[in-house]
Amino acid sequence: MVSSTFVDAISDPTQALEELYAQNNAPDGFPARVSAHFTHIFASKDAFSEIPSIHAIDPRRTDRRLVKGRFMIQDNSASPELYIRQRSDGKCGGWGLVDASTDDETAYAPPRDANELGENTVVWAVNIPHESNWVSAEIDGPNAAPFTPPTVTESHPHKFPDSGARHLGVQVKVYDATLGDSLKATDVLTLVGIYSLEPVTADIESVHVPTLHVLFLQRLPETLVPRVFPAFTDASAVKSLRAELISWIADAALAGDKLSAEWVLLSTIARVQSRTPPILPPSLTISNFPSSDTRPKLLFVLAQLFPIVDGLELSLDMINTSSFAPESKNEDLHSGRLQLPRGSVCVVSEGGVTEGGIVQRGMQNLQALQNAMSSQTLDYVFPFSRFSFHTDISFVVLAEGRKSTFFQTHNIVPFKAETADLLYGPVASVQLPSEEKLALFRELVGGARLGKVTVDDDVAEHIQEDFVAERKSAASPVEAVTSEDLIRRMTIARLIAMSFHTTVISRDIWEQVKALESRRKFRLDSVVVRSSKE
């Protein structure tokens, strides 16, 4: 049964806020009480689902409506803003509330008593970049309002990773200091608050922008949609499901190349397991991949599986003129193409790059992308310094040559298929499995990203002995496996175990790793031999 408290809050959030303040009877500690109160009354899934989506309102006409929305924090570098904690009539201040007699020109004027002032945290947030279409229904239910292009002209297009894309940028004001201090760039959250149109911070002359006065927030997992690991207990069932998934990726996006499809699966479920020692997502190059002017179907297939998938179609103009890394200009942080949430998948296509020179900005962009692949870090550039921030992005590079023209990736798999006619096309050309099967595929890959696996002592000893034996049996020192090979194999073993939703690396999984590596190297050797004959 619907609570009248939550109905009242949706109907008139301003009144609900003022009534809560009247019960509190003091400004000290009130922001934390607001967060706790509204979190409590919207704790149930049914109650939370009743909050209107920010995408379902007309931001030009709606003022002080309670809304919710999923956002990525793009910029948290703005200075805190002062607000009047209690208005002259004894009612609460903040959350966009000012004295009725106060006009816009004096709304932010300080009171005579400094104790009447509070501070809020001001950040800029954008709708989650490259969020897949199916995510809204999974999180909010089948009647969820999907993202629609905003009707308010975007005043800050430079603050979205893909600056040419329509998006919703929002000025966010957080009054609970504990919550505000915790917000970091690329964090993904559901924000619930009171919506209005206001100037940017205290700049009265600035354009009015969508503004959200936060009542409470919910942090979202890296998978966006909640997942569990292991989600499957029937080993034979998950083995069959995994095989079906690989076959679908191969048939729908890779012209039937199952070896490449399996490597794509392993690379895209990878995440940062550890920084010290570094256990990072292995980047993948699919070489010998034919180029085209259209987008690869692989991008659309992965977007059916993962919640955030970005297609980075490189061209000489894009490399030389765009920004891959965030950069502060005039105390305003401009976004970059790689400012993406943790858990994103990025498909990099090199086929659009033609002959020509690369300028300094282009070199900086390529280096930023290489650093993200190799070390999972991204520099934020400021006028007199730069700071490195952690990322967690899975990369798949599609290269026309024997290897990537620009990047060193952890693994290279030559593409091989009878025909290359089925690699490109519009999203409508992708053959989809049933919704029930897609849901299982998403459970498998989403749960796998959360997986943590161990190695029993007897299997670890077997792996060590197997490694020593393989080194001894090598025909020459050049052909012998190295410690780097062992580290790479252990990384792949973890990913294979995770893809089977098992928590332990077994001897059978180790043999699968060796077989997968053998097939990959056979293709690489075949490409070298074929090239030497041409």
In this prediction, residues 509-514 reach a mean pLDDT of: 96
pLDDT for 163 equals: 78
pLDDT in tens, 424-452: 999 999 999 999 999 999 999 999 999 99
Do both 406 and 443 map to the same domain? yes
Distance of alpha carbon 90 from alpha carbon 106, whole angstroms: 18
Residues 273 and 124 in one domain: no
What is the reported pLDDT for 305?
98
34 vs 113 pLDDT, higher one: 34
**Residues 394, 400 contacting (CB under 8 angstroms):** no
Sign of CA dihedral 48, 137, 268, 236: positive
Q: What pLDDT is recorded for position 3?
A: 53
Query: Looking at residue 105, what is its pLDDT?
Result: 42
DSSP string, 40-73: HHT-SHHHHHTSPBGGGS-TTT--SEEEEEEEEE
Q: How many structural domains does the chain have?
A: 2
396 in the same domain as 289: yes
Instruction: State yes or no: pLDDT of 106 exceeds 50.
Output: no
Give percent above pLDDT 70 in the chain.
91
DSSP three-state, residue 212: strand
Is 244 within a domain?
yes
Question: Residue 138: pLDDT above 60?
Answer: yes
158 and 273 together in one domain: no
Higher pLDDT, 384 or 179: 179
- Examine residue 229 and state whether it is found in any structural domain, yes or no: no
- Has residue 25 got a pLDDT over 80? no
How many angstroms from the chain centroid is the CA of residue 499?
Answer: 20
Q: Which domain holds residue 441?
A: 235-533
Please state, rounded to an integer, the average pLDDT across all residues of the chain. Answer: 90
Encode pLDDT of 262-302 as tens digits.
Answer: 999 999 999 999 999 999 999 999 999 999 888 999 999 99
Give the pLDDT mean for 209-220: 96
Contact 412, 522 (CB under 8 A): no
486 and 432 part of one domain = yes
pTM of the predicted model, to two decimals?
Answer: 0.93
Is residue 195 over pLDDT 60? yes
Residue 226 lies in a domain: no
Q: What is the pLDDT of residues 471-493, one digit of tens each?
A: 888 777 777 788 899 999 999 99
Mean pLDDT of 340-351: 97
Which whole number is the average pLDDT over 48-69?
A: 86
Residue 405 has pLDDT above 90, yes or no: yes
| 365 pLDDT more than 70 | yes
277 shares its domain with 394: yes
Domain identity same for 139 and 247: no
Per-residue confidence (pLDDT) for residue 338, from 0 to 100: 98
Tell me: do 282 and 414 sit in the same domain: yes
Grade residue 107 by pLDDT with cuts at 50, 70 and 90.
very low
Residue 92 lies in a domain: yes
Domain containing residue 430: CATH number:
3.40.50.300
Residue 152 is predicted with a pLDDT of 63
Dihedral sign from CA coordinates of 232, 234, 238, 241: negative
395 and 423 both lie in a single domain: yes
> Do the domain assignments include residue 432?
yes
- Residue 225 belongs to some domain of the structure: no
Cβ count near 526 (within 10 Å): 12
Look at residue 227 and tell me if it is in a domain: no
User: What value does the mean pLDDT take over residues 340-355?
Assistant: 95
**SS3 assignment, position 244:** helix
Please say if the pLDDT value at position 204 is more than 60.
no
CA distance 117 to 86: 8
Please give the residue that has the higher pLDDT: either 526 or 347: 347
Report yes or no on 228 lying in a domain. Answer: no
Backbone angles phi, psi at 420, to 5 degrees: -110, 15
Higher-pLDDT residue of 370, 384: 370
Contact 59, 195 (CB under 8 A): yes
Are 179 and 34 in the same domain? yes
State which H helix or E strand residue 191 sits in. Answer: strand 188-199
pLDDT higher than threshold 60 for residue 532: no
- Where residue 389 falls among pLDDT bands split at 50, 70, 90? very high
Check residue 104 and give its pLDDT. Answer: 47
- CA distance linking residue 213 with residue 376, whole number of Å: 33
| In the predicted structure, residue 462 carries a pLDDT above the cut 80 | yes
Q: Report the alpha-carbon distance of residue 84 to residue 491 in Å, rounded.
A: 54
Residue of higher predicted confidence among 527 and 280: 280
Q: For residues 208 and 306, state if they share a domain.
A: no
For residue 110, the model assigns a pLDDT of 52
Name which of 144, 428, 130 is nearest 307 in CA terms.
130
- Which residue, of 190, 219, 248, is where some domain finishes? 219
Residues 314 and 199 in one domain: no
pLDDT reading at 28 higher than 50:
yes
How do residues 81-100 score in pLDDT, each as one tens digit?
A: 999 998 888 889 999 997 55
Q: pLDDT confidence of 331, banded at 50, 70, 90?
A: confident
Q: What was the pLDDT predicted at 527?
A: 79
Task: Give residues with Cβ within 8 angstroms of 235, minimum separation 6.
Answer: 500, 502
